[in-house]
Amino acid sequence: MRRARQFALPLLSPRLIAVWRRNFLVWRKLAVPSILGNFADPLIMLFGLGYGLGAVMGNVAGTSYFAFLAAGFAASATMYAATFEALFSAFSRMHVQKTWEAIVNAPMTLDDVLAGEWLWAASKALAAGLCMIAVISAFGYASYPLALAALPVLVLAGLAFAALGLAVNALASGYDFFSYYLTLVLTPMMMLSGVFFPVEQLPGPIQIVAAALPLHHAVQLVRPLLSGVLPAAPLLHVAVLAGYAAVGFYVATVLTRRRLLS
């Protein structure tokens, strides 16, 4: 019975919105530095690499390297924003500030809390992606209206990375634990997913690995959409991201229940 409950599908109430609103209220107080960070980080990388390397490389995959890289960064910025929120910020609320403990004393379940955090981390991811798309648009590299279709992709990617992050969070013993995930999972993913160069440059076996990574699928959707082209095999990419989001959130739920409820 107890085991069955630990592995049950998440059972949610609309009150999970209150968790999202709590985080939003905190964010609103720190919105200016947060938004500046959303712009500054990728912009610095983009100008450094896009202009510097771009001058050496010329066109990549039929477009300027700056545009190629910028589209990749829209996807990776989403990944990092969702991940940092689901790791460091969620851990602080779960473990350090005991915010989750306070919430579940109200008529809220741990599933509600986790789902609220999940949606919140995806929202922050969308904000980070939007900042990148704003930059891309300002430089005239976004082709509307199709570029708008990149937004739901960023939401889906945000949900996928937020879910993975929450699952890691449920296993964390402290903030240092997250270095493993960042260094051993996210950094290689960033290199293998076609953010900096086309995946076709990689040796065949590594391309197979890349094809399993969620960031790869996000890039494969976002880049063509931003340049006004319909992606090849869009349903496959959407399905992989949705799979990571759904399975990831289920795993995160089970692991968090095991950590806090058993």
Q: Return residues touching other proteins (CB under 8 A).
A: 1-2, 5, 13, 15, 18-19, 21-22, 25-26, 29, 97-99, 101-109, 261-262
User: By C-beta, is 206 or 261 nearer to other proteins?
Assistant: 261
Nearest-approach distance from CB 95 to other proteins, in angstroms? 11
- In 47-105, beta strands by DSSP E: 59-60, 63-64
User: By C-beta, is 112 or 153 nearer to other proteins?
Assistant: 112
Nearest-approach distance from CB 167 to other proteins, in angstroms? 21
User: By C-beta, is 7 or 180 nearer to other proteins?
Assistant: 7
Residue 105: Cβ-neighbour burial (10 angstroms; 0-12, 13-18, 19+): exposed
User: By C-beta, is 41 or 101 nearer to other proteins?
Assistant: 101
Q: How far apart are CA 214 and CA 28, in angstroms?
A: 29
Length of the chain: 262
Contact yes or no for 49/66 (Cβ under 8 A): no
Residues facing residue 151 across a β-bridge: none
Nearest-approach distance from CB 169 to other proteins, in angstroms? 18
Nearest-approach distance from CB 102 to other proteins, in angstroms? 4
Rounded to the nearest angstrom, the gap between the alpha carbon of residue 138 and the centroid of all alpha carbons in its chain is 23
Closest of 80, 83, 66 to residue 142, by C-alpha: 66
Contact yes or no for 161/86 (Cβ under 8 A): yes
Nearest-approach distance from CB 253 to other proteins, in angstroms? 16
H or E element that contains 248: helix 234-261
User: By C-beta, is 19 or 130 nearer to other proteins?
Assistant: 19
C-beta neighbour count of 37 within 10 angstroms: 14
User: By C-beta, is 26 or 254 nearer to other proteins?
Assistant: 26
Nearest-approach distance from CB 261 to other proteins, in angstroms? 6
- Please list, in sequence order, all residues whose beta carbon lies within 8 angstroms of the beta carbon of residue 9, skipping any fewer than 6 positions away: 250
Nearest-approach distance from CB 228 to other proteins, in angstroms? 42
User: By C-beta, is 23 or 78 nearer to other proteins?
Assistant: 23
Residues facing residue 64 across a β-bridge: 59
